Amino acid sequence: MLFQVDSLWPKLAPQLAQLTARVVRVHGPHSAIALRTGTLEPRLDFAGVIALNTDQSRGDILITRPSEPLEKAVRAHPPRFIVLTALTRAEDRQLRSGDLKVAGYELREIFYFGFLLLPFLWLKWLPLADRFFSALLSLEIRLHPYLNVLAGIGTVAVLSEKRRDAKSAIELSIVIPAYNESGRLPAYLAEISRFMKARRIAHEIIVADDGSGDGTGELVRKKFRGVRVIRLYQNFGKGAAVREGVMAAKGRQVLIADADGATPITEYPKLAAEIENGADAAIGSRYLAQSEIGKRQNLMRRMVSRAGNLLIRSLLDLPYKDTQCGFKLFDRKAAQYLFRNLSNFRFGFDFEILKKAGVLRLSVSEVAVRWNDQDGSKVTFKQTIRVLTELLKLRFGHLIKFAFVGVINTVADFTVHNLLIVFFGIGEPTRQLVYMVVAFFCANLLAFTLHSGFTFQRRAAYRRFFTVSVFTLLVAGIIFHGLNLLYNPEADVLLTNIFKLSTVIISFITNYFGYKFWVYRYNI
C-alpha cells in the first residue's frame, strides 16, 4: 500500500536521488554512459551521488515516473535500464497492475520504500519534521533495494532490456579486464589477433576498461578498430569489469584472459578441448604437475600465492589447485548464468564463481597451462589483504552478520517481553507464553528487515521467513514453557529470563540454516 505524501517530496528529493543511485549501482549496467531523467517533479540532482553525468539525449539509464510517456522516450533513444519511481497511488496501481508494459523490457524488481516513515507521518506539520524524515529515509536507503515491505511512501520499479539469445556466428568471445593497462595490453591484443587469424577462429575481443585513468580504452579504440571497448563509469574492480564483458559476449564460448598476457593465447586449445568434451568450464592452472612455468614469481609472491590458494580450497571446499589463474574458458550460457548476480567485484570473484559452479553442479575441468610472471603486476600487498577479506566475507560474512543481527533481535525480544511484564504483570506461565509470542512477532519483523537489507542483502518472501521463524518459535516455546512449568512455578522474573536465554542457542542454529538455505538461497 502506498501512502501519498506530496508535500514532503520537495524536502526528500536528495534522499530519493540517493535511493535511485543505489538502485542503479546494484542492478544497473556498470558500463553505462549517462543518466537521462524525466520532466516531472521532484527534479533529482545526481551530482555527488553517482559517477555519471546527466545527458538527456545520450543517457542509457532512464530515470522517470510511470505517468510520463515512456514509449516516446524509449523510441527516441532506447535505454539499457529504466528506473520508475511511483509517488502517487495512481502510479503505484499502474506499476503493480501490470498495465505498464514497455516493448523490449522486462520487470526486474519492484519494491516500496519509506516504510520507516509511516508511523510518524502524523508529525509532518511539526517544526524540524522534515529533517527527521530525511534522516529516517537516509537510514532506510542503506537497506535497499533488498527490503520487501508491504507499504511505503513510494514505489521503485526496475526494468531491464530483455536478453535476446540469438544464434551468433561468433565461436569465441575473449574478455580482457583492464585497469591502467596502456603499457602491456597492446602487445597481448596483437598476439591474440595473430593467433585467431592463423587459426581462422570466428571471434570477438572485448576489453572491459575498469575506469582507467591512463587512456587504456582510447588507445585500444585507436590502434585496434576491431576490438569492442566497454568502459565502466568508475573503477569498480576486476570482477565487475569481467562481469560486464561476459554479459556482453556473443560467442559460443567465453574466454577470460588477463591483460598482461601471463598465459599466452596459444594455450586456448587446451581449454577448448575440455569444453568440446562436455565440460561447462575449463580453468587454467599454474600448480598442476604438467604446468609449464617460464619466468617465475619471486619467492615471497610464490609463498603468498600458494598459501592463499590453499586457504581458498580449505575454506570453500574447492577441489582446484589454482583458483586465481586469470585464464578461464566457459560455455557462454554457463558463464552468463554464473556472472549475472556477481557480488564480489574485485579480485575475489574467481573463487565466488567456482563456488557457484559447485552449487549448481556444473562440470569444471582444471587444465595445466604455460604461464610467465609479468612485470607491473596489479596484485599488491594491499590487494592480497583485500582478497583475504573477501574470502572470509564469502565464507563467514553471513554468520558474523547473522550473529550481530541476532544480538539486536534478542535485545528487542527481551525488551518487549519485559515491557509487557511491567505493564500487565508477571502472571501465570500461560501468560508468559503469550508475552513470548507477542515479543517474537515484534522481533521477527525487525529481524526480517535487517537480514534482508544487511545480512544476506537479498529480497525474500516474508512467508518463508515467517515459516522458519514459527517453526523455531514452536521449538523454543515448548522448551521455554516446559522449563517454567517444571522449575519456575512461582514465576520468578530472573528464572523466566534465564529460561528464555536458554532457547537462544537453539533458535540461532535453526534460524540460521533455515534462512540461509531456504529463505535467502544462494544468489545465482
**How crowded is residue 355: how many other Cβ atoms within 10 Å of its Cβ?**
20
Residues 6+ apart with CB under 8 A from 167: none
The cell numbers describing 300, all together, are 615471497
Q: How far apart are CA 479 and CA 36, in angstroms?
A: 58
Reduced to 3 states, what is the DSSP secondary structure of residue 337? Answer: helix
Residue recorded with cell 550481530: 404
The cell numbers describing 198, all together, are 592463423
pLDDT of residue 86: 93
Pick the CATH number of 172-379 from 3.30.910.20, 3.30.465.10, 1.10.40.30, 3.90.550.10: 3.90.550.10
Residues 397-416 as b/e (b if ≥16 CB within 10 A, e otherwise) read: bbeebbeebbeebbebbbeb
pLDDT of residue 394: 78
The cell numbers describing 200, all together, are 581462422
Element containing residue 107 per DSSP (H, E): strand 105-113
Q: Are 85 and 100 in contact (CB under 8 A)?
A: no
Query: What residues of the chain score a pLDDT lower than 70?
Result: 164-166, 376-381, 522-524
- Read off the pLDDT of residues 119-135 as tens digits, 9 standing for 90 and up: 899 888 888 888 999 99
Residues 6+ apart with CB under 8 A from 322: 283, 284, 285, 286, 287, 288, 309, 366
- Residue 92 has, within 13 A of its CA and on its CB side, a CA count of 16
Reduced to 3 states, what is the DSSP secondary structure of residue 17? Answer: helix
Residues 6+ apart with CB under 8 A from 233: 30, 31, 32, 33, 51, 52, 211
The gap from C-alpha 390 to its chain's centroid, in whole angstroms, comes to 13
Q: How far apart are CA 490 and CA 314, in angstroms?
A: 52
The single-letter DSSP state of residue 2 is B
Q: How far apart are CA 516 and CA 460, in angstroms?
A: 11
Sign of CA dihedral 437, 439, 445, 448: negative
Tally: H helices and E strands in the chain: 15, 14
Residues 6+ apart with CB under 8 A from 458: 146, 452, 520, 523
The cell numbers describing 427, all together, are 502472571
Give residue limits of the domains in the chain.
6-161, 172-379, 396-519
pLDDT of residue 165: 67
- Read off the pLDDT of residues 233-292 as tens digits, 9 standing for 90 and up: 999 999 999 999 999 999 999 999 999 999 999 999 999 999 999 999 999 999 899 998
Q: How far apart are CA 148 and CA 160, in angstroms?
A: 20
pLDDT of residue 380: 63
Q: Is 490 exposed, middle or buried (0-12, 13-18, 19+ CB in 10 A)?
A: exposed
Fold of 6-161: Rossmann fold (3.40.50)
pLDDT of residue 454: 84
Element containing residue 484 per DSSP (H, E): helix 462-487
pTM exceeding the 0.95 threshold for the entire prediction: no
Reduced to 3 states, what is the DSSP secondary structure of residue 35? Answer: strand
Integer Rg of the chain from CA: 27
Q: Are 148 and 456 in contact (CB under 8 A)?
A: no
pLDDT of residue 376: 64
Q: How far apart are CA 83 and CA 156, in angstroms?
A: 7
pLDDT of residue 379: 62
Reduced to 3 states, what is the DSSP secondary structure of residue 482? Answer: helix
pLDDT of residue 522: 60
pLDDT of residue 134: 93
pLDDT of residue 163: 75
- Residue 298 has, within 13 A of its CA and on its CB side, a CA count of 3
Q: Are 170 and 202 in contact (CB under 8 A)?
A: yes
